[in-house]
Amino acid sequence: MARKSYPTDLTDMDWEILAPLIPPAKEGGHPPTTDMGEICNAIYYHLKTGCQWNMLPGDFPPKSTVYSYYRKWHGQGVWEKFNHTLGGQVRSKLGKSTQPTALAVDSQSVNTDQKKGMCIVLTDVKR
């Protein structure tokens, strides 16, 4: 039985790009029976909707399986590979280098131990 389609589902083109970036199953043991595309669809659904893991729709793979892959891939840097690959492809389509040549940092996002509105001025005064 085909499952319901969600707006967060990967397109065939998306999957063509991402599939090679997913680590292969460990050799030996029981062969994997879970569709990695469905795992990705469930993870993207979770990320987009913000739902709790145990509230994923029942037509996705088991929630424990989806969460397990999410954590494992996080530890293996798979999400960073996805971002770098997709970002590079978008930049390439825009006629830019796949890697940015500059970085901008927003000074307002820098953490401080100072309370808002408090200013400390240090001066070196010799008397």
Distance CA 43, CA 52 (A): 11
Distance CA 35, CA 38 (A): 5
Contact 85, 21 (CB under 8 A): yes
User: Residue 125's pLDDT band (boundaries 50, 70, 90)?
Assistant: very low
Model pLDDT, residue 112:
60
pLDDT single digits (tens) 7-52: 999 989 888 888 998 988 888 878 888 999 999 999 999 999 999 9
Answering whether pTM is above 0.85, one says no
Dump the DSSP string for 94-118. Answer: TTS-SS-S-----GGGS--SSPTT-
